[in-house]
């Protein structure tokens, strides 16, 4: 008797989502028990933030595109709720899979809960305990809606149990971000971006910044500019600028000041393969991104996180990450400390960050929703 494949709707909408959903889609393509339908909300909708990642990661074109575009978070979430509900009614999925902590994640979780559709959350249980961060609220609310919770580290399991989640619903599977990193490592090593930028491996700092706490207010942005200029006085800086960060730099009138610094390379966002090459070759990475904390840990690259907290403590206890806040003196002192250390050494990779997280996730989905 032929097996009926359960329809699983995977919802993604922003750059961090694509790196997490790609290995799940790839694994599900060979599944005997599940078939995947990809819904792209359009939260990130421009070439640099969306379409280039689809090409780099080999993600097939979405089955459904909601096209919500840029808006304030409440309006963006409302648009996704409004546009996703009729699509889910038509598709009648056995389960909805959401990844990460962006607005698209929460909107899909709320839609699933209101429609009574089982929800699986990949990257569940991460907590910064800072509710001023939009992502923290997205994580908490999504986990409260979820029926299956897939975690990347054991601290996340403990967080969920403390919040009253049934331990039977929690599955420690590892990190799908690292699945993607391992899959594309060879291609990243072949990237020519270092040559095109005139960079030497181990001879530059890579910077990414986008969180409101660092770039939205003028006084915060001034501290960031001081850090960038101080870093550039020590070694060349490559800074692929997120669109919202670019807007804040332009509004503050400091973009041209940074671009005029001969030791700074201010670029638009770069594709995944080129960015991986930059990250793996950097002497140090300065960031406020959660995903980059994980990737630098897997690569063994020193990382200074310009925040006072992190939802990924394993990157500190077992990885190369260090929280340094945004005070220029503190950040630059930490930078000098790293630069004094010798290069090399094998990275200590956290448990189950072995490139097989998607395999474990799909196995649980098959057991739960696959039907003979």
Encoded tokens for 163: 């919040």
- Arithmetic mean of pLDDT, 116-128: 98
Q: Which are the contacts of 22, defined by CB distance < 8 A and separation ≥ 6?
A: 57, 58, 59, 180
User: In sequence order, what are the residues at sequence separation of 6 or more whose Cβ sits closer than 8 angstroms to the Cβ of residue 143?
Assistant: 121, 124, 125, 149, 160, 163, 165
pLDDT tens sequence across 318-358: 999 999 999 999 999 999 999 999 876 778 899 999 999 99
Q: Which residues pair with 64 in a beta bridge?
A: 39
Whole-number average pLDDT of the chain: 93
Judged by DSSP in three states, 1 sits in coil
Q: Is 259 helix (H, G, I), strand (E, B) or coil?
A: helix
259-271 residue pLDDT tens: 999 999 999 999 8
Q: What's the mean pLDDT in 281-306?
A: 97
99 forms bridges with which residues in the sheet?
Answer: 122
Pairing verdict, β 284-287 and 205-208 = parallel
Residue spans of beta strands (DSSP E) within 32-136: 34-40, 64-65, 95-99, 119-122
Q: Does the pTM of the predicted model rise above 0.85?
A: yes
What confidence tens digit (pLDDT) does each residue in 13-38 have? 988 899 999 999 999 998 989 999 99
Closest by CA to 215, choosing from 225, 207, 205, 202, is 225
Go through the domains of the chain in sequence order and give each one's CATH number: 6-174+353-369 (3.40.50.2000), 192-340 (3.40.50.2000)
Phi and psi at 204, nearest 5°, equal -150, 160
CA-CA distance, 309 to 239, in Å (whole number)? 22
Active site residue 210: yes
Q: Which of 40, 44, 171, 210 is catalytic?
A: 210
């Amino acid at each position: 008797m032929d097996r009926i494949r359960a329809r699983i709707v995977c919802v993604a909408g922003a750059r961090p989502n694509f790196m997490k959903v790609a290995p799940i889609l790839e694994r599900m393509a060979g599944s005997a028990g599940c078939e995947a339908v990809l819904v792209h909300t359009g939260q990130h909708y421009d070439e640099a933030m969306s379409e280039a990642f689809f090409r780099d990661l080999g993600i097939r074109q979405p089955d459904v595109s909601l096209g919500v575009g840029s808006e304030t978070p409440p309006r963006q979430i409302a648009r996704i709720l409004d546009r996703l509900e009729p699509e889910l009614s038509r598709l009648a999925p056995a389960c909805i899979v959401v990844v990460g902590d962006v607005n698209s994640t929460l909107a899909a979780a709320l839609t699933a809960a209101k429609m009574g559709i089982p929800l699986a959350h990949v990257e569940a249980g991460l907590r910064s305990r800072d509710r001023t961060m939009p992502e923290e609220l997205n994580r908490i609310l999504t986990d409260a809606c979820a029926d299956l919770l897939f975690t990347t580290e054991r601290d996340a399991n403990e967080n969920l149990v403390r919040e009253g989640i049934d331990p039977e619903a929690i599955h420690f599977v590892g990190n799908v971000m690292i699945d993607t990193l391992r899959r594309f490592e060879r291609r990243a090593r072949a990237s020519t971006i270092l040559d095109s930028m005139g960079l030497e491996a181990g001879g530059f700092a890579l910077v990414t910044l986008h969180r409101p706490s660092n770039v939205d207010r003028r006084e915060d942005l001034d501290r960031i500019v001081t850090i960038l200029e101080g870093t550039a006085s020590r070694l060349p800086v490559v800074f692929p600028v997120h669109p919202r960060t670019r807007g804040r730099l332009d509004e503050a009138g400091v973009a041209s000041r940074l671009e005029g610094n001969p030791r700074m390379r201010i670029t638009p966002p770069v594709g995944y393969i080129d960015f991986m090459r930059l990250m793996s070759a950097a002497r140090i990475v300065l960031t406020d991104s959660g995903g980059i904390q994980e990737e630098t840990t897997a690569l063994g690259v020193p990382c200074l996180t310009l925040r006072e907290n992190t939802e990924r403590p394993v990157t500190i206890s077992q990885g190369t990450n260090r929280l340094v806040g945004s005070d220029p003196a503190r950040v630059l002192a930490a930078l000098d400390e790293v630069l004094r250390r010798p290069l090399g050494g094998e990275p200590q990779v956290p448990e189950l960050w072995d490139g097989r997280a998607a395999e474990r996730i799909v196995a649980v989905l098959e057991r739960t929703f696959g039907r003979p």
